């Protein structure tokens, strides 16, 4: 069984992530094949739009397949992760800059690397099963795949809240936070896809108003705490209101180094406002992640031993500066990403 189903249907290019048994987690080869396909279709006059969805009922894409990251890290191989992230980020930038409409159908879990494929698209559809998150801090990594820009553009300090907690968004929250555009009930998706594939026209997307967003109701509490410039400042402002008690419970399980570094990375994306600058800043951390962060320990606790008790390292301001410092000659090269 191929991990991707790629075909042209009428005036549309159609990509299905096809690893339902692995919640459609992205492999390195999948990233490269999606990129190559988008490069071809960019100049194909017979393709008016791109449709991307995921096989199975449980997920659009649950994230990157990080098992190989762990294996390479265990052997001291730093190049595998660095190459994977570099090439994945190039794909993320291409999706964000693509000159033709890309329509993504984000059912079930859309997390991490799935956000990178699904949430930089021009038309992002969610439904009643959608659960979208940037949970990287739970395994010792920072929100990446351009997610720092999405978080930076969320209302108020919603993005800092989401990046530090890893909290999940339902369809309403995702639309409020800017990770999605259209709410379409799942039982209408087949009709919408059929119309898109036959017409090549995004006006076929008839969205409904989603229920009120929880995150919209939490804005006062989120702003009171997550405007802090450092992790310690944010912790100091976590009161006992239900939203902030919920935030503290989630943050207490996450890697302090990753959370501390996520703050300036998201802040930088607010200031620059471009996908390229956001990815370059994220790569500073991920380039160093295998050797100098809690990432390998986070994977061990989450998917190798599954004991859910990671031993996070103590963190100082100097550690955060080290992980977010410019890379010099190793600075992320997105050659060919700007379309």
Predicted local distance difference test score (pLDDT) of residue 77 = 87
Predicted local distance difference test score (pLDDT) of residue 169 = 98
Predicted local distance difference test score (pLDDT) of residue 81 = 94
Residues contacting 295, CB < 8 A, separation 6+: 69, 73, 139, 140, 141, 289
Report the share of the chain in percent with pLDDT over 70: 99
Where do the domains of the chain lie?
4-330
What is 222-244 written as a DSSP string?
Answer: HHHHHT-SSHHHHHHT--SSHHH
Taking a C-beta distance cutoff of 8 angstroms, is the pair 127, 183 a contact? yes
Average pLDDT taken over every residue of the chain: 96
Predicted local distance difference test score (pLDDT) of residue 339 = 44
Model pLDDT for residues 159-175, shown as the tens digit of each residue: 999 999 999 999 999 99
Tell me the whole-structure pTM to 2 decimals: 0.96
Predicted local distance difference test score (pLDDT) of residue 250 = 98
Model pLDDT for residues 218-248, shown as the tens digit of each residue: 999 999 999 999 999 999 999 999 999 999 9
Dist. CA 11–CA 54, nearest whole Å: 20
Banded pLDDT at 73 (limits 50, 70, 90): confident
Q: Judge: domain 4-330, CATH 3.40.50.300.
A: no
């Amino acid at each position: 069984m191929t991990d991707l189903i790629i075909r042209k249907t009428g005036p549309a290019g159609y990509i299905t992530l096809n690893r339902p048994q692995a919640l459609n987690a992205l492999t390195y080869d999948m990233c490269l094949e999606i990129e190559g396909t988008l490069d071809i279709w960019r100049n194909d006059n017979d393709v008016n739009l791109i449709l991307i969805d995921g096989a199975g009922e449980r997920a659009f894409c649950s994230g990157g397949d990080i098992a190989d990251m762990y294996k390479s890290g265990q052997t001291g191989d730093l190049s595998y992760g660095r190459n994977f992230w570099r090439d994945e980020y190039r794909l993320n930038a291409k999706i964000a800059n693509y000159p033709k409409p890309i329509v993504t159908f984000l059912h079930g879990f859309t997390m991490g690397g799935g956000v990178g494929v699904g949430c930089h698209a021009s038309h992002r559809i969610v439904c009643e099963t959608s659960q979208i998150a940037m949970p990287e801090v739970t395994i010792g990594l920072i929100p990446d795949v351009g997610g720092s820009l999405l978080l930076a553009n969320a209302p108020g300090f919603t993005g800092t809240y989401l990046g530090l907690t890893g909290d999940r968004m339902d369809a309403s929250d995702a639309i409020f936070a800017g990770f999605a555009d259209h709410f379409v009930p799942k039982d209408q998706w087949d009709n919408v896809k059929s119309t898109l594939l036959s017409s090549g026209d995004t006006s076929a997307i008839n969205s409904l108003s989603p229920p009120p967003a929880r995150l919209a109701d939490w804005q006062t509490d989120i702003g009171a705490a997550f405007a802090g410039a450092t992790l310690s400042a944010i912790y100091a402002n976590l009161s006992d209101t239900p939203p902030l008690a919920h935030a503290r419970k989630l943050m207490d399980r996450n890697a302090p180094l990753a959370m501390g570094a996520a703050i300036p990375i998201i802040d930088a994306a607010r200031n620059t406002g471009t996908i390229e600058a956001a990815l370059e800043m994220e790569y500073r951390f991920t380039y160093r992640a295998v050797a100098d962060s809690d990432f390998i320990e986070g994977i061990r606790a989450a998917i190798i031993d599954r004991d859910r008790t990671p031993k996070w390292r103590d963190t100082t301001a100097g550690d955060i500066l080290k992980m977010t410092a410019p890379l010099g000659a190793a600075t992320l090269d997105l050659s060919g990403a700007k379309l």
